[in-house]
């Protein structure tokens, strides 16, 4: 079972991603972190939408992750494609029997030895999306804690990529649902809140600080602290 990194550990992770000299270096570092901090993850890759339509995997920790991603693109089915298209998080506990991807699932299980998946949608700009793809060699290899930690990591990756591409991370088109979701996850874990209460906290802080909701979420993800209202002078 994964133990959630401390606030200090995630702050160090955020700094290491921000220090990336290039987009590829940032992606490679992010994948190293994914395998390091999430116990069930033996292989990881990042899918990015290129040119508005084509999907590629510019970085992967192993041939298993790369081949698993490429087979999704070839067959036009799989969890990373679904994550990019419609969902923030996709969980599959047994690829051998998974009905959602009846061709891809059994093939990767039999050919690559992968048995479960965890995918997170990445928002890197208004027009560019991607996914963080985690592969496990074990059936039911990921638990709820993995989902919480992975969501936070995905948010850090999205913010780091946006910074490298010199995109304004205050824009709701960038942080969008993904980073708001990650901020909710941080509050849920830290204060033992449900999703509705966590969202209410973000809304209240947004009103108190007169900041956009997306900006509040982005600051919480970046700094692990909620912004405070400005004092009137």
Any idea where the domains of the chain sit in the sequence? Answer: 7-163, 172-223
Mean pLDDT (whole number) for 190-201: 87
User: Cβ distance 123 to 87 under 8 Å?
Assistant: no
CA angle 105, 49, 219 (to 5 degrees): 105
Both tokens of 206, joined, read 């947004």
Mean pLDDT (whole number) for 55-65: 95
If we measure between CA atoms, which residue out of 132, 186, 137, 184 comes closest to residue 160?
132
Strand 129-136, strand 89-92: pairing? unpaired
CATH no. for 172-223: 1.10.10.10
Mean pLDDT of the chain: 83
Cβ neighbourhood burial of 209 (10 Å; 0-12, 13-18, 19+): middle
Give me the half-sphere count of Cα atoms (radius 13 Å) on the Cβ side of residue 108.
Answer: 36
pLDDT in tens, 124-166: 555 557 899 999 999 999 988 888 888 888 878 887 777 777 6
The span from the CA of 230 to the CA of 233, in Å, is 9
Class at the top of the CATH hierarchy for domain 7-163: alpha beta
Mean pLDDT (whole number) for 75-86: 90
Q: For residue 34, name the pLDDT band (cuts at 50, 70, 90).
A: very high
35: how many CB neighbours lie within 10 A of its CB? 17
């Amino acid at each position: 079972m994964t133990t959630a990194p401390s606030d200090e550990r995630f702050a160090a992770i955020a700094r290491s991603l921000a220090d990336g000299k290039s987009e590829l270096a940032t992606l490679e570092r992010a994948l190293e972190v994914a395998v390091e901090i999430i116990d069930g993850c033996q292989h990881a890759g990042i899918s990015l939408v290129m040119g508005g339509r084509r999907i590629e995997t510019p970085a992967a920790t192993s041939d298993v992750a790369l081949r698993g991603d490429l087979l999704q693109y070839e067959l036009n089915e799989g969890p990373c494609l679904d994550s990019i298209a419609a969902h923030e998080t996709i969980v599959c506990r047994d690829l051998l029997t998974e009905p959602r991807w009846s061709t891809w699932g059994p093939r990767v299980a039999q050919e690559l030895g992968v048995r479960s998946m965890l995918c997170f949608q990445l928002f890197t700009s208004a027009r560019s999306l991607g996914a963080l793809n985690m592969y496990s060699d074990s059936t039911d290899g990921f638990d709820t804690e993995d989902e919480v930690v992975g969501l936070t990591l995905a948010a850090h990756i999205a913010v780091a990529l946006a910074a490298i591409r010199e995109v304004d991370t205050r824009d709701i088109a960038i942080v969008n649902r993904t980073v708001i979701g990650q901020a909710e996850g941080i509050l849920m874990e830290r204060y033992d809140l449900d999703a509705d209460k966590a969202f209410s906290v973000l809304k209240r802080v947004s009103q108190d600080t007169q900041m956009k909701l997306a900006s509040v979420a982005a600051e919480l993800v970046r700094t692990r602290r909620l912004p405070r209202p400005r004092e009137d002078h």
